Structure 1
Amino acid sequence: MLHRKMYPVWLIVPALVIYAVLYIFPTASGFYYSLTDWSPYKDSIKVIGFDQFVDLFRTKAMYTAMKHTVIYAAIVTIFQNGLGVLLALFLNAKLAGRNFFRSVFFMPCILSALVVGYMFTIVLHPDGIFNQLLDQIGLSSLTKDWFGDPKLALYSVTAVNVWQWAGSSMALYLAGLQGISKDMLEAAVIDGTTYGQRLRYVVMPILAPVVTISVLLSMIGSMKTFELIYVTTGGGPGGATEVMNTFIFKQFGSGLYAYGTAANVILFLSVGIVSVLLVKLMRRGETAV
């Protein structure tokens, strides 16, 4: 009898071991090494406490990176989910070829961020496809150096990120919309409600948990962004697109391993705190809808 009860546990154990080795242990090690002066080139490690964290919080570069991370995450989260909802509502209707368009909008999600980044460095180059298109349609005054202008670079990268991941949010919202009872919607139509009223009082209350999940995933993903920014701008020009992960990468590249680890811990805690607060906020919104 005991053997039968333990059977599900034995199925879970391999996954738990892999999770512990590949995630829990490295995370715990990161917390420890952030309190030391460790380097792979040192024979011994000395515990120095929170000195590196104090130095980091006195560093203007880290505050700039954190500010850019917050701006980037906020813009991506808002537009990715807004566009995802619109695409889901549009492609949930009975349209010819809707499965084809669903595939087209979801396709960028399966591409590597490196591939997307290299592709858009060509598209948004000063002599690239996008500026050439603007010239052809008589909007040459709008041509810019999209990744080279410090005032535009961060917003250009966020636009690329939204382009890539809006399809992911669309898929989540589509799944939520298809879970809504057709009888409920038909009853609302019979009652004489408008499309807007059905969205407000029927669709959104049911879709609210999906919104929470999608917003949370997009916020976490955008706060941890690295590959796209590294490929397109490298954190430049002049630090205009420096985010936490590019800042951390540069610390490791400079040989400041413990310093970079401490910055990584700050990012980890920041993502955790933002996630908890966001879930609480979104849960309140679910009950208010």
Structure 2
Amino acid sequence: MKIYLDYNLFAYMYDETRLDLNAKVRALSDRHMFPYSPAHMEEIATAVMNAPTIETMDRLEAAMRKIDSVSQISRNVELFPVSSGPMVLKEEQPLACFRRVVLHYDKNPIVEENEEQILAFFKVGDPHGKLANKVSNLADDFLLNSDHGRDLQLKLLLDIDFSFRCKSHGVKDFTWPEISGHFPVLERAIELAMNFLEQSRYRPEHISKSRSRMHDVTHCIYATGCDQFVTHDKRLNDKVRAVYRYFGVPTRVLTLEEFVARDYD
């Protein structure tokens, strides 16, 4: 079984703040895989590139220790993006992935600024959070049989980038068997659906959390390559469940407590 851990769980294991998690992963590591993804390296890179009060060498040293921890937990198994075909599993040192992420990090400030603007725009339509309070209480299958689901379908159909990717890869519908076979299509579909949840005010993120949400979306994409996705973020848990239900993604979403208590024998 492939189990995807949200980055905060890797951080807990590194800091040893949840010893029950460390024990659980150790107990399962001989029979199950805990792959990492570029999203994990992006979070480490963000800490390196956005801590100006800490000396550069100290930041890099801390990053190297965290990368080594990811290497040990994942055993260097990576969920790897491709330009054609489905996401693949490959063996690669996390440090090699980290180097690629840092090499292209100059693009991140632009992406982060766009992300913040998007969240601010959605907030304008619901300044006091009344809509968010209403929509956030809906069940995680609310996208399947509601106006929200039809609106999301329309959003997918009208997105030029998504339409181009579907046409380029011969994808004719939004079902999981179709989109899962083409990573570029899957990537955009998940991204649009997560953006739609923000627009609909379902468990919306605060504007100050724009960078964190950007990483959440990426984890949501890569976790589809695993049997389970474990996160300690309740807001993310709810949103991922809704998106996965909509597309029929078979990945089971678990809280940290559910994962630790679960019997894998």
TM-score (norm 2): 0.30
Q: Which has the larger radius of gyration?
A: 1
Relative to its length, the structure with more strand (as a share) is 2
Could you say which structure has the greater relative contact order, defined with CA pairs below 8 angstroms and 6 or more residues apart?
Answer: 1
Relative to its length, the structure with more helix (as a share) is 1
